[in-house]
């Protein structure tokens, strides 16, 4: 697939990285900064074009005329919108994806239609990160909560500790613990190595477990893996940027939210936007301020400023001063490893959160949703099975009969609003939403071909 | 340094390269010249060496880094020049010493075209074919070929590609995937080779000669299957076909690629380097032809015109075909032609020399200095077309120049110390460093009379020229090895 990425910022570069390492994609990146592009081209097998992302001449040079997808990820909403307009009008590009940050544009429903601004998919990294954090706060103890089928099913990542009821036991005993509901353990990461479990696998302390379950059952299953934590009540957010304010708005009705912002003018602006949350002017790494605001009683400390180093340091400080849990927004992949081994509980990587929504549109076959896990090494995917028994490789077959590549598993099926946890004898029907988990990213092409319908399908 | 990766790729490349020794076996069988054995031996040795190199580390899956790329390219060319010499060394009718075999093979691979062989006309066709094929493989770049056929080189392929492709700006890819870019280049190259062979055939060569000369023409090599080179055919049509394809092969291949993809030739005329390249060739040809007329009179106008044109294009593009011994030409002409080889062809072509674009940038800087004298406070960028060239590139060009001159000077002194006279030594260094082939004085027709030491210096010169000095030179700096 020929992909044109506009903008080589953090989101753009990481999109280029993830997309270009899949054999089938040919990626071209456009940016105004030659140095950034040169550095990027040294690392990745891509082509780069220097120029303004919305200019027709630049897009032409970058090969917009035969591109399959244009992904506009520059930091200006307006540039992204114009670029998609140009790609549509001038080059007839089939799929146009744009990053739109401002909620004002996002909420204008009539704006993004084919006869106005032809953007097929709008991505707001801030929005995605914000709801990601929101989910983590909703399910304390989880490391990742990922939605499928409009939130009906969720894939939850959780670290097993010794208080989990299932820890030290075989997975098959799960149904004895909780008789009436079902969940499925999709994958276990033990000391960084992936394993696809079966009924005889024994859960150990320290395993990172990904399980899938109906939304209402998640809490129960989490208690199987670790001691259930009390719901989060007090949240402190460091950084009153876009993400911080969004999160504060989302949480302020249900939780006690405090938000720390360094710039008094900005603090003034956000205090007008927020209703219940308390805006504090000051430095998030100021020990006095944190103590004064009873940091030792805080359930979650979220560092969401633009500077990842500041995020790391302030979360470490908050944790030392007694915050129960600390999360930090970290862009750099190398930092993520560094901090998760230490005091910070969860490193939030905006790229990883964002990339999934891009990947869903690059996949062949009817793929609804892709979540990238473990920095892109693993992936969870929701695909729709089309066709019938004759032209599809999955429809009408039981899971046992489907030739899945090694390292992949079908974990759940959503059929007309009902969630079915996959068993070896579950039969897949047409138009089922099939949720897959793969621990080996290299198998994706094989998996894609499974869900492609043969030529006879009309 | 990532030794296992370097070793693995080196082994793999050697194994692949060994298969290029099989076509000569086929040629040998077709012409029944009884000299297939050396090629089979060469094939066996190269394959075995590659396998031994590859086997212990074939599981290594690490990525190729920038530094490894330099090491792979430099050592691959060195190793390949040596292994490519095996068939020549084993071939009975040649009875070459090891030095001579390596010289010949390296001269082929680097598309220099200097030879130590005489009596080419009586050699078995398979050996003649092999020499031409070496040039053809070296022309577009053996690494570029490997990148095209080995998808596993991936991102690392870009490092290799950059270390091998000539020119000051190497970041422009034709397609997003480096494999596709390499493939595209080879398709264009292949298409030219076929067209050139057909052209020669129509102009009157036999099929064998047509193919062999097509190989060395599009590679800008200069090897021939006859002692008297192109003069053997004594045909105006052959001369013109050769001139046409030498001219094409000296153009940046990405321009050819765009012409092919967009079915349009306007890219050529928009390209500053192409315009400068054509201009230089035209002026040079005009000067040479006029001088020849001046000294020889108008007795045989067509011959004089063709000789002047052919020799100018052949030497200025660093091909090195000859229709006449230009070393014997009057006045400053021999020196003028040798000097023209310093310009060479365009970046991204198969030609040698310093490359037109570098001269163009240096020239533009000179003009800028003059303009600055007149307008002391003016802001004057160096531009190519409508785009300003970054000072980084301009600096790199100057760096290249100074190193080129230093290397040239050192090699000149070394060559003279092996006993060559000044003219011979000067032209021999120019002929090897610019990948030209024929020189003046004692090396006008070949390097047979040069001592072994001189030949080894020339081998290094050819490698330095083909890899544009830095790729090789970086390996002898302490910074490169410091981890």
List chain A residues with CB under 8 Å of B180. 26
From B176's Cα to the closest Cα of chain A, the distance in A is 4
Residue A390 burial by CB count (10 A; 0-12/13-18/19+): exposed, middle or buried? exposed
Tens digit of each residue's pLDDT (9 = 90 or more) over A357-398: 788 887 777 788 888 887 777 888 888 888 777 778 888 888
Instruction: Determine, for residues B151 and A23 on separate chains, whether the beta-carbon distance falls below 8 Å.
Output: yes
Q: Is A28 on the interface with B (CB under 8 A)?
A: yes
Decide yes or no: CATH 3.40.50.10490 for domain A234-348: no
Instruction: Determine, for residues A26 and B177 on separate chains, whether the beta-carbon distance falls below 8 Å.
Output: yes
Distance of CA A240 to the CA centre of its chain: 22
Torsion of CA B204, B206, B212, B217, to 10 degrees: 0
List chain B residues with CB under 8 Å of A2. 176
Residues of chain A with CATH 3.40.50.720: 2-123, 234-348
Tens digit of each residue's pLDDT (9 = 90 or more) over B244-277: 999 999 998 888 988 888 888 888 888 888 999 9
Q: In a 3-state reduction of DSSP, which class is residue A176?
A: helix
Q: Which CATH number is A353-450 given?
A: 3.30.70.1450
pLDDT at residue number B254: 86
Q: In a 3-state reduction of DSSP, which class is residue A202?
A: strand
Instruction: Determine, for residues B171 and A48 on separate chains, whether the beta-carbon distance falls below 8 Å.
Output: yes
pLDDT at residue number B193: 93
Candidate from A28, A41, A45 with C-beta closest to B171? A41
- The confidence band for A218, taking pLDDT boundaries of 50, 70 and 90, is confident
Whole-prediction pTM: 0.81
Residues of chain A with CATH 3.30.70.1450: 353-450
Q: Is A34 on the interface with B (CB under 8 A)?
A: yes
On whether the CB atoms of residues B134 and B110 are closer than 8 A, the answer is: no
User: What value of ipTM does the predicted structure carry?
Assistant: 0.75
Tens digit of each residue's pLDDT (9 = 90 or more) over B150-181: 766 655 677 777 777 776 666 677 788 888 88
Candidate from A42, A43, A46 with C-beta closest to B176? A46
DSSP states of A342-366 as a string?
A: TT-SEEE-HHHHHHHHHHHHHSSS-
Q: Cβ contacts of residue B459 below 8 Å, gap of 6+?
A: B81, B102, B103, B106
List chain B residues with CB under 8 Å of A445. none
Is the pLDDT at A457 greater than 50, yes or no?
no
Q: CB neighbours (10 Å) of residue A24?
A: 12
Candidate from B171, B178, B390 with C-beta closest to A45? B178
Nearest residue of chain B to residue A34 (CA atoms): B390
Q: Is A33 on the interface with B (CB under 8 A)?
A: no
Q: Which helix (H) or strand (E) holds A278?
A: strand A278-281
On whether the CB atoms of residues B118 and B93 are closer than 8 A, the answer is: no
- The confidence band for A454, taking pLDDT boundaries of 50, 70 and 90, is low
CATH topology of domain A2-123: Rossmann fold (3.40.50)
List chain B residues with CB under 8 Å of A27. 176
């Amino acid at each position: 697939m020929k992909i044109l990425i506009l903008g080589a910022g953090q989101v753009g570069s990481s999109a280029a990285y993830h997309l270009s390492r899949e054999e089938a994609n040919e990626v071209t990146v456009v940016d105004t900064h030659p140095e950034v592009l040169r550095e990027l081209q040294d690392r990745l097998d891509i082509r780069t074009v220097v120029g303004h992302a919305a200019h027709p001449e630049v897009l032409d040079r970058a090969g917009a005329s035969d591109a399959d997808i244009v992904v506009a990820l520059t930091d200006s909403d307006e540039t992204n919108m114009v670029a998609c307009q140009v790609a549509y009008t001038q080059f007839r590009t089939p799929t146009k994806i744009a990053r739109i940050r401002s909620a004002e544009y996002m909420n204008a429903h009539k704006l993004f239609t084919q006869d106005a601004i032809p953007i097929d998919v709008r991505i707001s990294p801030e929005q995605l990160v914000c709801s990601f954090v929101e989910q983590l706060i909703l399910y304390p103890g989880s490391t990742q909560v990922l939605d499928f089928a409009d939130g009906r099913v969720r894939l939850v990542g959780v670290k097993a500790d010794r208080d989990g009821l299932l820890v030290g036991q075989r997975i098959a005993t799960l149904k004895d613990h909780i008789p009436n509901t079902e969940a499925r353990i999709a994958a276990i990461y033990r000391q960084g190595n992936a394993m696809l479990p079966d009924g005889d696998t024994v859960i150990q302390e320290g395993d990172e477990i990904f399980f899938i379950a109906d939304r209402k059952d998640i809490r129960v299953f989490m208690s199987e893996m670790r001691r259930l934590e009390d719901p989060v009540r007090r949240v402190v957010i460091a950084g009153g940027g876009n993400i911080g304010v969004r999160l504060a708005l989302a949480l302020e009705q249900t939780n006690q939210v405090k938000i720390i912002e360094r710039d008094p003018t900005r603090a003034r602006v956000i205090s007008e936007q927020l209703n219940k949350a308390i805006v504090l002017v000051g430095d998030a790494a100021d020990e006095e301020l944190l103590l004064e605001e009873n940091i030792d009683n805080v359930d979650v400390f979220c560092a969401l400023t633009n500077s990842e180093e500041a995020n790391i340091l302030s979360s470490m400080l908050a944790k030392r001063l007694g915050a129960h849990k600390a999360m930090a927004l970290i862009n750099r992949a190398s930092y993520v490893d560094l901090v998760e081994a230490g005091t910070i509980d969860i490193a939030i990587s905006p790229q990883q959160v964002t990339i999934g929504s891009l990947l869903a549109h690059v996949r062949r076959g009817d793929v609804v949703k892709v979540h990238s896990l473990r920095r892109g090494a693993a992936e969870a995917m929701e695909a729709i099975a089309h066709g019938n028994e004759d032209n599809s490789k999955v429809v009408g077959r039981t899971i046992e009969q489907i030739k899945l590549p090694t390292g992949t598993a079908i974990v759940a099926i959503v059929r007309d609003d009902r969630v079915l946890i996959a068993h070896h004898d579950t039969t897949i029907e047409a138009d089922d939403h099939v949720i897959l988990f793969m621990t080996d990213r290299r198998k994706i092409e094989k998996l894609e071909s499974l869900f492609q319908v043969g030529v006879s399908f009309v | 340094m990532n030794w296992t990766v370097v070793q693995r790729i080196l082994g793999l490349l050697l194994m692949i390269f060994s298969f290029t020794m099989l076509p000569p076996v086929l040629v040998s069988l077709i012409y029944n010249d009884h000299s297939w054995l050396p090629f089979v031996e060469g094939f066996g040795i190269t394959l075995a060496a590659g396998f031994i190199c590859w086997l212990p580390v074939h599981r290594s899956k690490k990525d190729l880094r920038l530094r490894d790329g330099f090491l792979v390219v430099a050592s691959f060319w060195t190793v390949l020049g040596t292994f490519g010499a095996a068939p020549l060394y084993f071939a009975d009718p040649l009875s070459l010493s090891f030095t001579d075999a390596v010289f010949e093979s390296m001269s082929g691979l680097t598309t220099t075209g200097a030879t130590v062989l005489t009596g080419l006309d009586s050699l078995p066709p398979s050996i003649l074919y092999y020499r031409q094929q070496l040039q053809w493989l070296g022309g577009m770049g053996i690494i570029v070929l490997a990148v095209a056929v080995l998808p596993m080189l991936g991102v690392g392929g870009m490092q290799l590609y950059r270390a091998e492709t000539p020119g000051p700006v190497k970041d422009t890819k034709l397609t997003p995937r480096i494999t596709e870019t390499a493939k595209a280049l080879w398709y264009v190259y292949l298409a030219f080779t076929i067209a050139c062979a057909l052209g020669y055939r129509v102009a009157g060569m036999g099929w064998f000669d047509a193919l062999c000369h097509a190989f060395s023409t599009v590679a800008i090599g200069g090897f021939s299957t006859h002692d008297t080179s192109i003069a053997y055919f004594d045909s105006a049509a052959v001369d013109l076909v050769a001139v046409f394809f030498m001219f094409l092969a000296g153009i940046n291949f990405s321009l050819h690629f765009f012409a092919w993809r967009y079915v349009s030739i306007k890219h050529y005329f928009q390209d500053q380097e192409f315009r400068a390249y054509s201009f230089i060739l035209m002026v040079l040809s005009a000067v040479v032809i006029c001088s020849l007329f001046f000294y020889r009179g108008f007795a045989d106008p067509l011959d004089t015109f063709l000789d002047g044109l052919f020799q100018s294009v052949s030497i200025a593009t660093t091909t090195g075909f000859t229709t006449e011994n230009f070393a014997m030409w009057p006045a400053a002409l021999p020196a003028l032609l040798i000097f023209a080889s310093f310009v060479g062809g365009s970046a991204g072509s198969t030609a040698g020399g310093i490359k037109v674009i570098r001269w163009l940038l240096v020239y533009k800087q000179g003009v800028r200095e003059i303009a600055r004298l007149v307008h002391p406070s003016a802001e004057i960028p160096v531009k190519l077309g409508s785009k300003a060239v970054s000072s980084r590139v301009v600096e790199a060009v100057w760096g290249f120049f100074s190193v080129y001159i230093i290397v040239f000077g050192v090699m000149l002194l070394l060559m003279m110390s092996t006993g060559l006279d000044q003219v011979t030594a000067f032209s021999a260094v120019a002929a090897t460093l610019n990948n030209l082939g024929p020189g003046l004085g004692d090396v006008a027709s070949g390097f047979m009379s040069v001592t072994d030491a001189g030949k080894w210096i020339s081998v290094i010169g050819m490698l330095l020229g083909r890899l544009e000095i830095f790729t090789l030179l970086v390996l002898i700096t302490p910074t490169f090895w410091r981890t």
